Chains A and B, each alone.
Chain A
Amino acid sequence: MTIETAATQGKKDFKTDGSALKGNYREYGLVLALILIMLFFQFTTNGVLFRPVNLTNLVLQNSYIIIMALGMLLVIVAGHIDLSVGSVSGFIGGLAAVMMVRWQIHYIPATILCLVMGGAIGAAQGYWVAYHKIPSFIVTLAGMLVFRGLALWLLGGQSVGPFPPQFQLLSSGFIPDFFAYPGFNITSMLVGIILVALMIYFSVRGRAKREKHGYEGEPFALFVAKNLIIAGIVLFLTYLLSSYKGLPNVLIVMSILIALFVFVTKRMTVGRRIYAMGGNEKAAKLSGIKTERLTFLTFVNMGVLAALAGLIFAARLNTATPKAGLGFELDVIAAVFIGGASAMGGVGQVMGAVIGAFIMGVMNNGMSIMGVNIDWQQVIKGLVLLAAVIFDVYNKNKA
């Protein structure tokens, strides 16, 4: 009899999907914050921020931070941290320069070797964290010193460049235009439109599927508004980019990676297991999850992404310098925390980290245009990070 009452009670309760929606509200809040910050700088920079050239630069400048933030999100959700990513990306950039410029290795095998090297570095650090339970803070602090030192040694304290032109395209290239319409990249615009169409298709299909099974999603108005706003923003930005040189190659790489990581974290069993492990490692282990291997793999993944970021950065500067990547780890980690991840592990979203990275990026860009001194930029960025985390903690305690 009690079972029956629970069943009827259950039906009534489907509607109050409170916590599921609340998780989303945070993401909406973050998007809103980004939009407000962008509008603020658009205003204070007298419209420079949204100029197609500047927007393109914004993407190029932040791509490597965003790419590393994807890996860092997994590491932090798993309950760890990686302080070495800046040094590793600098080291890999140096390695790429030595291979391509000094040893004249073709850029494709060199790139692959660099990525493999990144994975190996991640594996070396992850091994100690995962299998010997050495705190990641310490292992990667050591890594940070070691790879900064190795980068210096590798480059002999000098800048090495320039890179082969094809390799530079990784950062400075744009997707080819098949229409050659002066002043506007039609291919890029089409890609944007197709993307938006796909996005709307999938979200409508997902909703229909839910409804078919008798589950209510978010309110219809909210659903429509959300999709329209996102579509509008994407189309608007694509339009701006297209009216300069089109979509940068890095943006494509970055978008594919973002989509991949969203999919892995939200829809795949591996992703679910990482969250479970970060939430309660002992319980995860007793549920049959191979926590050691999973931790190890998140570090390998981080290593590969740090390597990719190093390559992109080197390609962008067209030289490898011993100082490349200095302090990147701070921006990356800040992005992930602004994006709502918890330092305790188990909580955090890929889109959150990406938006967090953009918030940092737009602030850097906007303040530079405004001519704010670098010292004050640091202060303001630090305060924004603190405010974002305080906001999160406050909200959690209130709930």
Chain B
Amino acid sequence: METILEMRNITKTFPGVKALNNVNLDVRKGEIHALVGENGAGKSTLMKVLSGVYPHGSYEGEIFYNGQEQHFRDIGDSEKQGIIIIHQELALVPLLSIAENIFLGNEPAKFGVIDWHVAENRTRELLAKVGLKEDPLTLITNLGVGKQQLVEIAKALSKEVELLILDEPTASLNEKDSDALLALLLEFKAHGISSILISHKLNEVGKVADRITVLRDGATIETLDKDEISEDRIVTSMVGRQLADRFPQREPNIGEVVFEVKDWVVHHHIHSDRTVINGINLNVRQGEVVGIAGLMGAGRTEFAMSVFGKAYGRKISGEVFIKGQKADVSTIGKAIDNGIAYVTEDRKTFGLNLIDHIKHNATIVNLGGVSHNGVLDDMAELKVANEYRRKTNIRSSSIYQKTGNLSGGNQQKVVLSKWLFANPDLLILDEPTRGIDVGAKYEIYTIINQLVSEGKSVLMISSEMPELLGVCDRIYVMNQGRLVGEMPASEASQEKIMRAIIRAEGKAS
């Protein structure tokens, strides 16, 4: 097969960090080429170099595309050649329709007047291609993440695409949506379109990739062929050592019920007649890790946020008991004072001040812990920031790196750090390992274990069932705002959880 893309000796430095160091990558025509590596290994940076986000001249090395050396000055240049990138964080405009988003900046127009008729028809064709049954006039806000991802792909298809780059497209998709997306990639491949797929979900990489290139610390480690691909092999190459277990061992030491929610009801934040959470009763014991399983959109995030100081929803009713006492969690401040912490799933919008550095982000929840009478103690703050940077293994040039410049996974670790420093009794984790590499996942599980061994409790929302099964002591299953199952982890299995969900779906319809 002929080579469509060759990147040679790419080196890219940011102030204080060498993000890429002589990286080589070649992609063949019509293949699905996976790019894997730990958080901060340089995957997104490499793709930004390729697509012209970082223009020619801001890096060293050469890019050959279709046999010709390319000097892309911006995204427009690479798009003209058929290289389309879908970034790690979706870039759709929420209050515009699907059609408007797809043709944003590329509108079919005569003399500057947009022909919406053409746009809508073409949108309909494109949506059919990606298998999305939605009206082209639907607003993006009304779509779930999975569907938004498909819109991004439809948008890519609206341009002449030859090489499609997907940066962690499935990170926030459930299994069904992920599978649909991967099937789409295989279909593109049949049409001769090449793709580069970045993912931390190694099982799906194994399913669809023809070849895999592994990056570590900004350098190419190796490129594996299809017959060499196995998860263990990839992990070893990524982390640079054998990773015997995916989940650290823990001796459960479970005590009394410390946190209990009774008859929790929440209504939609805009349409207040719609019930989002419908009578939830749930408890967490001291030293226990409790999981909430469910499909995307089951209402898990809404539940957690509504408990956390009514950060979500309206007309909230129900009671919260902490150590047997009725607790007031009506504002976020009170929830925090009651020892509750909520680590959000959306780190960019809700988790971090992206224009500020790690140090200031790490201490913001618990400024009291690094100040006296409202006056900050700079030394104490430095110490805390460095300590948590080490504990959670944040890869950055220093604690003065802007969080906006960190890789996705490392941003997640900063969010985790800031809540760990708040020293909560109950830590609510919402998709804590989304977009996080295998090694770092292990570290986060270790942190969870350490917390519960200190007598704290953890409530973990996750869409990755193996993770729930591997980490939790007990698992609740949520579906459409109700709890539809509860089981000790020792008796739980993926099938059992799915069965609970399907049974509930059957009842509901």
CB pair B398–A16 under 8 Å, yes or no, is: yes
Within 8 A of A (CB), among B322-377: 332-333, 335-336, 342, 344, 349-357, 360, 364-365, 367-368, 371, 374-376
A270 near B374 with CB under 8 A, answer yes
Judged by a CB distance under 8 angstroms, whether B493 is at the interface is no
Contact B355 A346 (CB under 8 A): yes
Contact assessment for B375 and A275 in the assembled complex, using a CB-CB cutoff below 8 Å:
no
B374, A13: Cβ atoms under 8 Å? no
Q: Out of A2, A280, A289, which one reaches B239, CB within 8 Å?
A: A2
Q: Is the CB–CB distance between B390 and A346 below 8 Å?
A: no
Q: Is B117 an interface residue (CB 8 A)?
A: no
A206 (CB) vs chain B CBs: closest residue: B378
Closest Cβ–Cβ distance, residue A180 to chain B (whole Å)? 41
B26: chain A residues at CB < 8 Å are none
Q: Which of A7, A19, A215 has the most CB of B within 10 A?
A: A19
User: Which residue of the partner chain, among A1, A10, A287, A289, contacts B241 with CB atoms under 8 Å?
Assistant: A1
Q: A1 CA to B394 CA in the complex, in Å?
A: 14
Docked CA distance A204–B333 (Å)? 38
The answer to whether residues A13 and B398 also contact, given A279-B356, A288-B333 and a CB cut-off of 8 A, is: yes
Asked if B443 is an interface residue, CB under 8 A from chain A, the answer is yes
Choice from A18, A267, A276 contacting B15 with Cβ under 8 Å: A18
Q: Which of B16, B367, B371 contacts A18 (CB 8 A)?
A: B16
User: Would you call B367 and A269 a contact (CB within 8 A)?
Assistant: yes
Residues of A within 8 A of B400 (CB): 17-20
Interface residues on A, range: 35 or more
Which of the candidate stretches B103-111, B151-159, B250-258, B381-389 sits at the interface with the other chain? Answer: B381-389
Partner of B355, one of A20, A287, A347: A347
Of all chain B residues, which has the CB nearest A15?
B398
B296 to chain A, nearest CB (A): 21
- Is B12 on the interface with A (CB-CB < 8 A)? no
- Nearest B residue to A275, CB-CB: B356
CB–CB B356/A286 < 8 A: no
- A19–B357 Cα distance when bound, in Å, is 9
Within 8 A of B (CB), among A217-273: 267-270, 272-273
In the complex, A267 Cα to B15 Cα: how many Å?
27
B43 at interface (Cβ–Cβ under 8 A)? Answer: no
Complex CA gap A10/B16 in Å reads 12
A6–B217 Cα distance when bound, in Å, is 12
B432 to chain A, nearest CB (A): 15
Assess whether A267 is in contact with B375, with CB atoms less than 8 Å apart.
Answer: yes
Query: Cα distance A280–B411 when bound, in Å?
Result: 15
B397 & A2 in contact (Cβ 8 Å cutoff) = no
Minimal beta-carbon separation of A7 from chain B (angstroms): 5
B349: nearest chain-A partner, CB-CB: A282
* Interface status of B439 (Cβ within 8 A of chain A): yes
Instruction: Flag if B15 contacts A399 (CB, 8 Å).
Output: yes
CB-based nearest A residue for B379: A213
> Which A residue sits closest to B359, measured CB to CB?
A20
What are the residues of chain A within 8 A of B355 when measuring CB–CB?
279-280, 342, 346-347
Q: Is the CB of A272 within 8 A of B376?
A: yes
Asked if B311 lies at the interface with its beta carbon under 8 angstroms from chain A, I say yes
Q: Does B434 contact A (CB under 8 A)?
A: no
The distance in angstroms between the C-alpha atoms of A272 and B324, with both chains bound, is: 36
Asked whether A279 lies within 8 Å of B353 as measured between CB atoms, the reply is yes
Are B397's CB and A280's CB within 8 A? no
| A7 in contact with B390 (CB, 8 Å) | yes
Interface residues of A in 283-331 (CB under 8 A from B): 283-290
Given the known interface contacts A17-B398, A284-B364, the answer about A346 and B393 at a Cβ–Cβ threshold of 8 Å is no
B33 CB–A CB distance under 8 Å: no
Residues of B39-88 at the interface with A, using a CB-CB cut-off of 8 Å, are: none
Q: Contact mask B292-314 → A, CB, 8 Å, 1/0?
A: 00000000000000001101000
Docked complex: B370-425 residues within 8 A CB-CB of A? 371, 374-376, 378-379, 382-383, 386, 389-391, 393-398, 400-402, 418
Q: How far is the CA of A270 from the CA of B383 in the complex (A)?
A: 21
Closest A residue to B311 by CB, please name it.
Answer: A286
A379 CB within 8 Å of chain B: no
Residue of A with least CB distance to B398: A13
Question: How far does the alpha carbon of A290 sit from the alpha carbon of B354 in the complex, in Å?
Answer: 19
Bound form: Cα–Cα A280–B349 in Å: 8
Contacts of A289 in B (CB 8 A): 364
Residue contact B382 to A288, C-beta cutoff 8 Å? no
Asked if B350 and A283 sit within 8 Å, CB to CB, the answer is: yes
Whether the pair B360, A280 counts as a contact (CB closer than 8 A) is: no
Please measure, in the bound complex, the distance between the C-alpha atom of A347 and the C-alpha atom of B355, giving whole angstroms.
8
A-chain residues with CB within 8 Å of residue B332 when the two chains form the complex: 285-288
Residue ranges of A at the interface with B (Cβ–Cβ < 8 Å): 1-3, 6-7, 9-10, 13-14, 16-20, 22, 209-210, 213, 215, 267-270, 272-273, 275-276, 279-280, 282-290, 342, 346-347, 399
| Beyond A19-B16, A19-B398, A288-B365, 5 additional pairs, beta carbon < 8 A | A3-B390, A269-B371, A273-B364, A286-B311, A346-B356
Can you pick out 18 interface pairs between chain A and chain B where the beta carbons lie within 8 Å of each other?
Answer: A3-B390, A7-B390, A19-B15, A22-B15, A210-B378, A267-B378, A272-B364, A279-B355, A280-B353, A283-B349, A283-B350, A284-B353, A286-B332, A286-B344, A287-B418, A288-B333, A288-B336, A346-B355
What 9 pairs across the A-B complex have the smallest Cβ distances? A279-B353, A269-B367, A16-B16, A18-B16, A20-B400, A288-B336, A280-B353, A6-B393, A19-B400
